[in-house]
Amino acid sequence: MTDIDELDILTLTGLEVFAHHGVFDFERENGQRFVIDVALWLDTAPAAAGDELAATVHYGELAVEISGAVAADPVDLIETLAERVAGVVLAHEPVQRVRVVVHKPDAPITVPFGDVSITITRRRAHAAALADAPGARPLRAETPPA
């Protein structure tokens, strides 16, 4: 295993998803925009050496997976949503650590503001512990059967 400080960082910034999360009924009914940033720590040297996409994380596919996870199954808290996104990212074998930022720029706040967000950082070992915890809810949104 490579030391985390020696890993490369792949970032995906500003992924916009319209979803129905929130504590209030009107948020769930009307939906709103969420903006997701992720940073993935992984070793990209094998991919670069062989110029092989299969040896890294396909960021186009990851963006689609994250978007699907954010749009699925409404939750109350952006903290819960961030955990779900972290689980999706950590499901990719090369990823050792992820930082997820969930922005809720249209949050129902009664004073002027620019943004509200939560930032979490998770490692592969943390994701496994969460998945194994008693009563744990899946972090990765499942794809519905066709």
The predicted-structure confidence for 25-42, as pLDDT tens digits, reads as follows 999 999 999 999 999 999
Active site residue 104: yes
User: Which pLDDT score, from 0 to 100, does residue 11 have?
Assistant: 98
pLDDT > 50? residue 103: yes
| CA distance to 17, 22, 24, per residue, from 77 (Å) | 16, 6, 10
Check 103, 104, 122, 140 and give the catalytic one.
Answer: 104
State how far the Cα of 95 lies from the Cα of 7, in Å rounded to an integer: 10
Q: How confident is the model at residue 4 (pLDDT cuts 50, 70, 90)?
A: confident
Closest C-alpha to 91, from 60, 65, 52, 64: 65
39 assigned to some structural domain: yes
Total domains in the chain come to 1
Place of tokens 């997976």: 65
82 assigned to some structural domain: yes
Looking at residue 46, which CATH number applies to its domain?
3.30.1130.10
User: Which pLDDT score, from 0 to 100, does residue 109 have?
Assistant: 96
What mean pLDDT comes out for the span 74-88? 98
